[in-house]
């Protein structure tokens, strides 16, 4: 992925998810109006930042990509594996804002899907032939409960996509070297999905480093995606303070960046 610029803001632009009439990427923390510790492009209302600053940042984001704020859809993420499917035109997206889900799938143009993160992984999916997009929030709970496989299944079953044709972009998240977990997390993976053996390394008694980015890739491949069509950001959100918000690094007091995708 390359670091690109639109007006004031910078964002990571995937190479795999692109095409005529498609907007997709992952914002950085730069280009907004919020003050420390939310400086500066904090797009999350679920923080203690001033609401006026978040609204201003969202306005900046929408203006940069030539969409109205009414077209930007973010939901109430709960670290689960439920999805919102939108398969018909909705003139007012406001009634979706409080829906408790961690992924959105749609075949509707003009809807900017947004996933807010600060260490969790934002994953974007795109089927160019069927014109279906998805944005998925993957933290350790979502990875353990198989949310990505569920999202791909929704695309194939509900929208008749072919898994082998779907392109994926895994945005920036926390690296394994900065993400250490304990036994309850291990048990959640062992009882669910997420390839615990492949993604974990024990670093001390009862503590493991976990590679959630690798879990995303392995789950997408298991769901039928071609490895050649899966792109992943190399940056660790916890390490790159100049680019990204990080919940773990900043001890919970931080902003949120956005993974976004829309068909025009």
* Per-residue pLDDT reduced to its tens digit, 159-168: 999 999 999 9
pLDDT in tens, 17-76: 888 899 999 999 999 999 999 999 999 999 999 999 999 999 999 999 999 999 999 999
Look at residues 213, 76, 103 and name the one whose alpha carbon lies nearest to residue 158. 103
pLDDT value, residue 17: 87
**Domains of the chain, CATH where assigned:** 2-263 (3.60.140.10)
pTM of the full structure: 0.97
> Exposure pattern of 83-117 as b/e (b: 16+ CB <10 Å)?
bbbbeeeeeebeebeeeebbbbbbbbeebbbbbbb
DSSP E strands: which ranges in 139-237?
Answer: 167-170, 180-181, 200-204, 207-210, 230-232
Looking at residue 34, the DSSP 8-state letter turns out to be: P
Share of the chain above pLDDT 90, in %: 95
Mean pLDDT (the chain, rounded):
96
pLDDT in tens, 66-105: 999 999 999 999 999 999 999 999 888 988 989 999 999 9
The pLDDT, as a whole number, for residue 18 is 83
């Amino acid at each position: 992925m390359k670091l690109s610029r639109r007006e004031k803001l910078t964002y990571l632009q995937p190479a795999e998810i692109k095409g005529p009439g498609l907007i997709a990427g992952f914002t950085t923390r730069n280009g907004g109006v919020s003050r420390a510790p939310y400086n500066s492009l904090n797009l999350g209302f679920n923080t203690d930042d001033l609401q006026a600053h978040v609204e201003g940042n969202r306005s900046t984001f929408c203006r940069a990509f030539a969409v109205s704020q009414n077209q930007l859809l973010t939901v109430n993420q709960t670290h689960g594996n439920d999805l919102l499917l939108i398969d018909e035109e909705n003139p007012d997206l406001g009634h979706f804002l409080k829906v408790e889900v961690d992924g959105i799938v749609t075949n509707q143009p003009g809807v900017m899907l947004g996933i807010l993160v600060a260490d969790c992984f934002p994953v974007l999916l795109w089927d160019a032939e069927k014109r279906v997009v998805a944005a998925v929030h993957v933290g350790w709970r979502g990875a353990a409960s198989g949310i990505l496989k569920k999202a791909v299944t929704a695309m194939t079953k509900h929208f008749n996509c072919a898994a082998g044709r779907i392109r994926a972009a895994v945005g920036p998240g926390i690296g394994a070297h900065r993400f250490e977990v304990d036994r309850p997390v291990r048990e959640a993976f062992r009882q669910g999905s997420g390839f615990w053996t492949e993604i974990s390394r024990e670093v001390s008694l009862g503590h493991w480093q976990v590679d959630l980015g690798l879990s995303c890739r392995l789950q997408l491949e298991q769901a039928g995606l071609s490895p050649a069509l899966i792109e992943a950001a190399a940056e660790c959100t916890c390490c790159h303070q100049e680019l990204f918000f990080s919940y773990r690094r900043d001890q919970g007091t931080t902003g949120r960046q956005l993974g976004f995708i829309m068909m025009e």
